[in-house]
Chain A
Amino acid sequence: MTGTRPKTLKQQLVLINIATTGAAVLVAIALLLTVELRTWKEAFVRDIGIKADIIGNQCTAALTFGATADAEEVLAALREDPRIEYAVLYTQKGGTFALYRGRQAAPVVPAAPPPDGHDFGSNHLELTRPILLHEERIGTISIRARLDDIRAALAQYAAVSLTALLLALVVASVLLARFQRAVTGPVTDLAKLMEGVSRYKDYARRAGGQGPEELASLAGSFNEMLAAIQNRDRELALSLAELQNANRKLKDLDRLKSDFISTVSHELRTPITSVKAFVELLLIKPNMPEQRKRALLEIVSDESDRLARLISDLLDLSRIESGSMRWRDEEVALPEIVETAISGIVPLAQKKGLAIERSDGGDLPALRVDRDRVLQVVMNLLSNAVKFTPPGGRITVRMRRTGPPDALEVSVVDTGPGIPPRELPRIFEKFHRAGDVLTNSVEGTGLGLAISRQIVEHYGGRIWVDSDEGKGSAFTFTLPYRALA
């Protein structure tokens, strides 16, 4: 059935139409032809039979009285019928009595009468009837007639049939051409849509739901599929964006790490370089005055302390960031921690001539935190404040309850020079150090605020700074306590 190349739906429909219509018409024609041929043959037999009977009847007297000439005269009447090839009369005993031959062919006339009845040859009918006189058989008449008429009729029939077939096909094709759009239209539309979708990757297109039920359902399914693809695309795009975002963050982190390492290396090298330089100087000049020697050694000691602090801070930061820090959480009272921190910093403050005030915000609930870490945060803020506040200044530590979310808030407010606004965003980054305008020395590690932020954020709190340049800064952090309820 299938041709060498795929056919369109329309071609298929036309082929099916031709096949079905053609088959139907052919079957009808064959049936009609069969019936018609039989009817025609019956009519022919009847016609020739009647002629045989009439002629036979007309010849009874001639047969009875042996008047062959008269009989042949009667037979000659058959000349009117050109189909008749011959007609022959046989006597009762079977002898040939009278004969008529048609004008055309002269087939051999059987010498003895054939049995009664009729027989169709390829192109003739041979019919034999008895001749009766008063119910007594007195002879036999046999007629042979050509079937030219049947042939002609058949040919005519074939011509008419062929015309009918062609007409039926034409009519069916015209009707099909008119109606096929109902089926092929939606299919073609659907196919076009699919082609468009696959070519332009445009999944926003939708199929119209017209046409037969199956096609409408197909269009519906197709639309659902398109919608599903669109959704997936959207999700994919989202995932991609997230991935890209994550990737970017990773790259940033990587860069930060590299920066960090180079910064750390630099930070470590500075104290080591000065330690090495002073030690070498002492080695080269052993005769240096004692006082000078002592000054150098104090610098070496300071630098070593700073190096140790730096390494300790780096370890803390690294532990917190990697999550390997061991938090020894316990129930503690925040004022107690603050008190400890203040008493720790007071000698330094007094040396610098600074006043430290403290205000408790009423009855504060206990926190469940690592006491040393929180103390580290408060100490860090206090030492920063002491470091940057000029002599005669004042440092205030305030505690209060805030919320929601429920949390305890600690602020360290100084009367220092404040922080320039451009530095505010970077102040909690690692190794960010404020330019020490007063001391001009570099004492801190540059990691204190970064570590503080990590600790506060570990407990779900926040740390920030408010600063008025020239008037002072206020570092504040919160620690939620709801987890302790």
Chain B
Amino acid sequence: MYSRNVQHRLCRALLFLALLLAVPVPWGNGYAAERNVPPPAEYQLKAAFVYNFIKFVEWPSGTWPTGDTFRVCLLGEVPAAAPFEDLNGQEILGRRLSVTILKSPQEALACQVLFLASLPPPRLTEVLDTLSGAPVLTIGDTEGYARRGVMINMFLENKRIRFEINTETARSAGLRVSTKLLKLASKVYGAAPGGE
């Protein structure tokens, strides 16, 4: 389903990228600037990946506080937020998906999914500590994130998006990651639990 919208979203992503570069974002601005600007198509795909990851994760029942919306939150300086914002209003697991850009880690407790942009290690630790045990699926795209406790971490390999999974933190958060997804993962951190 993502392939059809790729071109359309690419255009919007480019626009969004232009805006992003023009307007300074409070957090981690310099950090992001140091990095090479990733090609917009990459984020288009990553947004789609995030959307699809949701389908292979089970949240503990009764832990969703926000009625019939499914909240995907972005924290940190996301290089291209537009592809994520495009997910707004999409239907997922019988709910409406809403994308929110967060200002502080505390806000993340009200989210089901938290996409973490590249953060300095202390900041990441702070965020993860805040969320510790909360049923929030953390997703990142920074090297070493999975090892450090982010549940799903995407990376590029041979121009393809791969991902690694930290089942330990997912389990401690009460989330069950589908074995089908685990099978696709390049690397899995934490002992593989029995069952799905």
Contacts from A to B (Cβ < 8 Å): 58-62, 64-65, 67, 70, 92-93, 133-134, 138
CB of B184 within 8 A of CB of A133, answer no
A93 touches B3 (CB 8 A): yes
Enumerate chain A residues within 8 angstroms of B94, measured Cβ to Cβ: 134
Chain B residues, Cβ within 8 Å of A62: 180, 183-184
How far does the Cβ of B172 sit from chain A's closest Cβ, in whole Å?
Answer: 23
- Given A65-B49, A93-B3, A93-B4, residue A60 in contact with residue B180 (CB < 8 A): yes
Q: Given A65-B49, A93-B4, A134-B93: A58 and B55 within 8 A (CB)?
A: no
Max count, chain A CB within 10 A of own CB: residue among B55, B93, B178, B180: B180
Counting chain A CB atoms within 10 Å of each CB, the highest count among B3, B178, B184 belongs to B184
B160-176 interface code vs A (CB 8 A; 1 in, 0 out): 00000000000000000
- In the assembly, what is the distance between CA of A216 and CA of B85, in Å? 105
Contact between B55 and A133 (Cβ–Cβ < 8 Å)? Answer: yes
Q: Does B52 contact A (CB under 8 A)?
A: yes
- Interface residue? B27 (CB, 8 A): no
Closest-by-CB residue of A relative to B180 is: A61
Most buried by B among A58, A59, A61, A70: A61
A138 to B180 alpha-carbon distance, docked (Å): 15
19 contacts between A and B (CB under 8 A): A58-B180, A60-B55, A60-B180, A61-B180, A61-B181, A61-B183, A61-B184, A62-B183, A64-B52, A64-B55, A64-B56, A65-B49, A65-B52, A65-B184, A70-B183, A70-B184, A92-B1, A134-B93, A138-B1
CA distance A134 to B3 in the complex (A): 20
Return the contact of B178 from the options A61, A67, A92, A138 (Cβ within 8 A).
Answer: A61
Closest chain A CB from B57 CB (angstroms):
11
> B49: which A residues are within 8 A, CB to CB?
65
With both beta carbons as reference points, the residue of chain A lying nearest to B161 in the complex is identified as A65
* CA–CA, A65 and B183, complex, Å: 12
Which residues from chain B contact A92 at a C-beta distance below 8 Å?
A: 1
Q: Which residues of A contact B180 (CB under 8 A)?
A: 58-62
Docked Cα-Cα span, A60 to B56, in Å, equals 9
Closest to B179 in A: A61
**Residue on B nearest A61 in the bound complex, by CB:** B180
Complex CA distance for A67 and B181, rounded to whole angstroms: 11
B residues engaging A (CB < 8 A)?
A: 1, 3-4, 49, 52, 55-56, 93-94, 178, 180-181, 183-184
B178 and chain A: residue at smallest CB distance: A61
- Closest-by-CB residue of A relative to B160 is A66
- Pick from A59, A67, A70, A134: contact of B55, CB below 8 A: A134
In the bound complex, do residue A61 and residue B56 qualify as a contact, i.e. CB atoms below 8 Å apart?
A: yes
Q: Once the chains are docked, how many angstroms separate the CA of A337 from the CA of B167? A: 171
Q: Which residues of A contact B93 (CB under 8 A)?
A: 134
The secondary-structure label for the interface of chain A is: mixed
- Beyond known contacts A60-B55, A65-B52: 18 more, CB 8 A cutoff: A58-B180, A59-B180, A60-B56, A61-B56, A61-B178, A61-B183, A61-B184, A62-B180, A62-B183, A62-B184, A64-B55, A64-B56, A65-B184, A67-B184, A70-B183, A70-B184, A92-B1, A134-B93
Which residues in B have their C-beta under 8 angstroms from that of A67? 184
Q: In the complex, what residue of chain A is closest to B91 when comparing beta carbons? A: A136
Q: When chains A and B are docked, how far (Å) is the Cα of A59 from the Cα of B56?
A: 12
**Chain A residues with CB below 8 A from B4, complex form:** 93
Residue of B nearest to A58 (CB): B180
| A269 to B3 Cα, complex, angstroms | 164
Q: Which residue of B lies closest to A65 (CB)?
A: B184
Q: What residues on B are CB-neighbors of A59 within 8 Å?
A: 180
B78 CB → nearest A CB, Å: 21
Q: Which residues from A are CB-within-8-Å of B56?
A: 60-61, 64
Chain B residue contacts of A134, Cβ below 8 A: 55, 93-94
How far, in angstroms, from A288 to B181 measured CA to CA in the complex?
189
Please give, as numbers and ranges, the residues of chain A lying within 8 Å of B178 by CB-CB distance.
Answer: 61
Q: Which residues of B contact A60 (CB under 8 A)?
A: 55-56, 180
Closest B residue to A57 by beta carbon equals: B180
Nearest residue in A to B4 (C-beta to C-beta)? A93
Which B residues are CB-close (under 8 A) to A58? 180
Provide the residues of chain B in CB contact with A93, threshold 8 Å.
3-4
Minimum distance in angstroms from B54 CB to a CB of chain A: 9
Q: How far is the CA of A65 from the CA of B3 in the complex (A)?
A: 11
Chain B residues whose CB sits within 8 angstroms of the CB of A70 once the complex forms: 183-184
Question: Shortest distance in angstroms between A112's beta carbon and chain B's nearest beta carbon?
Answer: 17
In the assembled complex, the Cα of A59 lies from the Cα of B3 at a distance in Å of: 18
User: Which residues on the A side are within 8 Å of B184 (C-beta)?
Assistant: 61-62, 65, 67, 70
Q: Smallest distance from the beta carbon of A469 to chain B beta carbons, Å? A: 156
What is the CB-to-nearest-CB distance from A97 to chain B, in angstroms, rounded to a whole number?
Answer: 11
Determine the residue in chain B with the shortest Cβ distance to A67. Answer: B184
A132 CB → nearest B CB, Å: 11
* Shortest CB distance B149–A (Å): 23
Distance in angstroms from A167 CB to nearest chain B CB is 54
Residues of B within 8 A of A61 (CB): 56, 178, 180-181, 183-184
Give Cα A138–Cα B1 distance, bound, in whole angstroms: 8
Chain B residues whose C-beta falls within 8 Å of the C-beta of A64 in the assembled complex: 52, 55-56
Chain A's closest residue to B51 (CB) is A64
A138: nearest residue on chain B (CB-CB)? B1
Which 9 A-B residue pairings sit nearest by Cβ, starting from the closest?
A61-B180, A64-B52, A61-B181, A67-B184, A61-B184, A70-B184, A65-B184, A61-B56, A133-B55
Min distance, Cβ B162 to any Cβ of chain A, angstroms: 9
Residue of A nearest to B52 (CB): A64
